[in-house]
Structure 1
Amino acid sequence: MALVFLVAVALLNARGIRESLGANVVMTVIEVSGLVLVVVLAGLVLGRGDGEPHRVIEFDESATPAFAVLAAAVLAYYSFMGFETSANMAEEMRDARRVYPKALFGALLTAGVVYMLVGLGVSIVAPPEQLASSSGPLLEVVSIADVGVPERLFSLIALIAVANGALLTMIMASRLTFGMARDGLLPSMLARVLPGRRTPWAAIVATTAIAMILAATGSVAELAETVVLLLLFVFLSTNVAVLVLRRDVVDADHFRVWTIVPVLAVGTCILLMTQQSAATWLRAGVLIAVGLVLFVLARVTGSGGRGRAPGSGEAGAGEAGPGETGPGGTDADGTSDSASATASQPTQDR
């Protein structure tokens, strides 16, 4: 079933960015509605005197508070997955230097508030032991509230949330793979796009195949832990790059973060990496090794996507990439000119 689902996601991804993000908006509204429902139900339980507010500051006597917080932070990283990959879509929006930072921080703040309220509400309503042993912790809140909300309806919302996360991940993964191939960091075959839709079909096929292999060889918990570790590598390298690239002087106006932020981020990433198990490191190491092999292959063979001749089915330096502007000022799915920030401006958008 998981493989069929991934194929469906790939087909939607290949259809176009407008269709994919349209589906994302609908599913996000449903997902947020489910989370708000949990918060409201938790408030009702607390209002009738059945909640236990003191649980939010309690720790298991056998656990060290500092390490317990770190363990929870590692899992929380998975909840925030997707924000970092949204940068891959920056070249498909207007005035990215002004719009993207506001959108990113606004989304982080909104999600952070919602997640905090959900976490507090669930902890107040249900005992930690009950939540830990449950396959659907949020459903425990629905059950305890007992106000007539069908559990099947909430299960459907949870399923939509999973589908939404998968869709976003595959969209961003395919665009990232395409961009790296276009810039010569991966074999150029991954930069091939559909002639009409201009969507990166080769990158979509490759990333979907990897997702299928991972889905068939690991549990949800194992995959989540692996994703978290890989994200930590991404965040670590990104913040190191910020510290290095911020020394460059550019003429264009762009967002600039305080130096202390990437420094703290590097330290935090390293600290959280130490909390991962050996099995997670092994799985992530295999994936990183595969990526390094592809990178070396692209370098040795000179098969980078930059500079490909138009009409070759690959997006070169002067061609429109997925969702970028094509002839006549519109992209393949009929939207207007949106490529204001291109991959050729890495130092201006850091």
Structure 2
Amino acid sequence: MSNEHLGTDAPAGHYEQTLAKDLSPFTLFAVAFGFVSIATGIFTAYGSVLATSGPLGIWTWPIVVIGQLAVALVFGALAARVPVTGYAYQWVSRLANPVLGWIMGWISFTFLGVVVVAVDYTIASTILPVLFGYVGTQANAWIITAVVITLQAALVSLSTRATQRVNNGAVTIQLIGMIGLVVLLFAVGFTTGQFDWSTLFSRGDVPAEGYFSLGGLTEAGPWAMGFLLGAFTIVGFESAANLAEETRDPAHVVPKAMYRAVLTLGIIGFLFLIAVTGLAGDPVALAGSATPIADIIQGVLGSFLGKALLVLVVISIFSCGLVITLSGSRLIWAMSRDERFPGWQAFHRISRSRGTPMNATFMMFAVGQTVLAVFAFSTDALFALFSAATLLPAIIYASTVALYIVKRKHLPPTRGFSLGRWETPVLVVAVVWLVWELLIFRDASFANSWAYVGVMVLIGAVYFAYLLIRKGVAGLTMPDMESIDAVLDAEPTEH
């Protein structure tokens, strides 16, 4: 099927192949890798972790990697059985019922709307001021972030192939650049004697008493807060599943893309954390900086090389936001295809000339700009953004894993990836990790995050009530899974 015959006016809910199936395994890996983006997560959250947990907080990272890897493996088992665009929305709709599926889709949309802002705000607030030597303010951070969001939405709406090429190139640069950066930091640190092993086990100015405590009803212990670093960074690997309908052999390719991204990022990210923390100097002073990672890199490697590597980080973060925008547009399109997203009449359309869901992408752009306007003048905008963008995927992951446990015996047989005899231990690890992660969000510092979730849930509830009044529960029934698979497994679309 050529682009000229893409289903521009196909009825919503009618699962015909309308997106070209031309994504390669590396492209899927690049999507998962680009969304997770260790550069983005660590540059965003490192300062907060220094303040709440001290340098010792970085040792939570390996635990997060193991937990998120278990979640990625469960998601891989689902993607091999339900290879349909919309990931958690589609999976929960079939594992439980369309009502819960819609709720999960809306939460996923809410997550994507805030995380793209958190990612792009990182460029404006923690990197560009050091790179160009100006004083960062809330006003210029807002303007720069708004421009970055606009550029990403324009690229995603104009060409999926161009978006893929930009992301593939950015991920390649990030892989080579982050490995090179880690090697350089260790080499210079050891050669000059700047690397201090003791800093890795320092608590900074965080009191020793109660450091490893579980906390109270409205507070998490200091070390527990350190888990936010990995929990914010290692999310979004499931974005590969959101492009299942554009991938050849998704039952094999999508699961591999997800768990390989988590493993690769987990290893490189931990080495990077050890390098920058060992070179942090005075962690107490560094915790007060708005640009701690950039300060370390430039201080150790010098102005010229430090700035060159910061350019690499900007490219990585831009790529991350690009993938989030791409994933969000596909989710909006998938829900609109089923007539379940506000304004679906416009958002389920595929552009004849571009072969992209342009209207859905514009919606992602509008949501991003709205969220940015709400958070832009918060006194701690970056923390509010990244904590909300950590809470939401935790809810999505926990709900999806719970339903998989209940319904896994009733799923259709896999045509690709399978957990096999490892299913039970993987599920145990995933559940223990997700329960622990969600408990951290009882801390009072996450009040703004819960407020954002509450407002978005309220907006969704109003629209969902309208759907129920208009269609009733029976009108929300999803198409039969097997019939969808038969259509989507038809002859692959060619460009």
Q: Give TM class, smaller chain.
A: 0.7 to 0.9
1:46 equivalent to 2:196? Answer: no
- Are residues 247 and 121 of structure 1, via their aligned partners in 2, closer, same or farther at CA, if it must alter by over 3 Å? same
- Are residues 292 and 75 of structure 1, via their aligned partners in 2, closer, same or farther at CA, if it must alter by over 3 Å? farther
- Render the CA deviation track for 1:293-318: whole Å, top value 9, x for unaligned: 333333433497988xxxxxxxxx79
- Are residues 208 and 148 of structure 1, via their aligned partners in 2, closer, same or farther at CA, if it must alter by over 3 Å? closer
**Residues 186 and 295, structure 1, Cα contact 8 Å, conserved in 2:** no
* 5+ residue gaps, structure 2: 1-143, 214-220, 376-380
Q: Which amino acid aligns with 1:136?
A: T
1:59 equivalent to 2:227? Answer: no
* 5+ residue gaps, structure 1: 308-316, 335-350
Counterparts of 1:198 and 1:299, CA distance in 2: 32
Secondary structure, aligned partner of 1:59: coil
1:234 equivalent to 2:396? Answer: yes
What is the percentage of aligned positions where both structures have the same residue? 23
- Are residues 3 and 48 of structure 1, via their aligned partners in 2, closer, same or farther at CA, if it must alter by over 3 Å? closer
Q: Which amino acid aligns with 2:296?
A: V
- Are residues 141 and 3 of structure 1, via their aligned partners in 2, closer, same or farther at CA, if it must alter by over 3 Å? closer
* 413, 417, 425: which one aligns with 1:251: 413
Question: 1:144: Cα distance to partner?
Answer: 3.2
Matches within 5 A, 1:1-350: 1-44=144-187, 45-60=189-204, 61-62=206-207, 64-65=211-212, 67-126=221-280, 127-146=282-301, 149-187=304-342, 188-189=344-345, 190-218=347-375, 219-253=381-415, 254-256=417-419, 257-258=423-424, 259-275=427-443, 277-302=446-471, 329-331=492-494, 334=495
Q: Which amino acid aligns with 1:226?
A: A
Q: Which amino acid aligns with 2:459?
A: V
Counterparts of 2:285 and 2:190, CA distance in 1: 17
Question: 1:246: Cα distance to partner?
Answer: 0.7
Q: Comparing both chains, which one has the higher relative contact order based on Cα–Cα distances under 8 Å and sequence gaps of 6 or more?
A: 2
Question: 1:172: Cα distance to partner?
Answer: 0.7
- Render the CA deviation track for 1:141-192: whole Å, top value 9, x for unaligned: 3333245643332332232222112111111111112112223432432322
Show the counterpart of 1:338.
none
Counterparts of 1:130 and 1:36, CA distance in 2: 27
- Render the CA deviation track for 1:241-268: whole Å, top value 9, x for unaligned: 2112213142344423333134224413
- Are residues 296 and 178 of structure 1, via their aligned partners in 2, closer, same or farther at CA, if it must alter by over 3 Å? farther
**Residues 42 and 141, structure 1, Cα contact 8 Å, conserved in 2:** no
Q: Which amino acid aligns with 1:300?
A: I
Secondary structure, aligned partner of 1:277: helix
- Are residues 33 and 27 of structure 1, via their aligned partners in 2, closer, same or farther at CA, if it must alter by over 3 Å? same
**Residues 240 and 266, structure 1, Cα contact 8 Å, conserved in 2:** no
- Are residues 246 and 141 of structure 1, via their aligned partners in 2, closer, same or farther at CA, if it must alter by over 3 Å? same
Counterparts of 2:330 and 2:234, CA distance in 1: 19
Counterparts of 2:255 and 2:302, CA distance in 1: 41
Show the counterpart of 1:346.
none
- Are residues 261 and 94 of structure 1, via their aligned partners in 2, closer, same or farther at CA, if it must alter by over 3 Å? farther
Q: 164-173 vs 296-305, which deviates more?
A: 296-305
**Residues 56 and 120, structure 1, Cα contact 8 Å, conserved in 2:** yes
Q: Which amino acid aligns with 2:294?
A: L
Q: Which amino acid aligns with 1:180?
A: M
Secondary structure, aligned partner of 1:40: helix
Q: Which segments of structure 1 move beyond 6 Å, counting only runs of 4 or more?
A: 303-307
Q: 223-232 vs 261-270, which deviates more?
A: 261-270
- Are residues 262 and 79 of structure 1, via their aligned partners in 2, closer, same or farther at CA, if it must alter by over 3 Å? closer
Question: 1:271: Cα distance to partner?
Answer: 1.7
Supply the RMSD in Å over aligned alpha carbons. Answer: 2.9
Higher share in helix: 2
Counterparts of 2:177 and 2:371, CA distance in 1: 28
Counterparts of 2:151 and 2:269, CA distance in 1: 29
- Are residues 146 and 97 of structure 1, via their aligned partners in 2, closer, same or farther at CA, if it must alter by over 3 Å? closer
Counterparts of 1:145 and 1:109, CA distance in 2: 28
TM-score normalised to structure 1 length: 0.80
Question: 1:122: Cα distance to partner?
Answer: 0.8
Counterparts of 1:214 and 1:203, CA distance in 2: 17
Q: Which amino acid aligns with 2:341?
A: L
**Residues 38 and 121, structure 1, Cα contact 8 Å, conserved in 2:** no
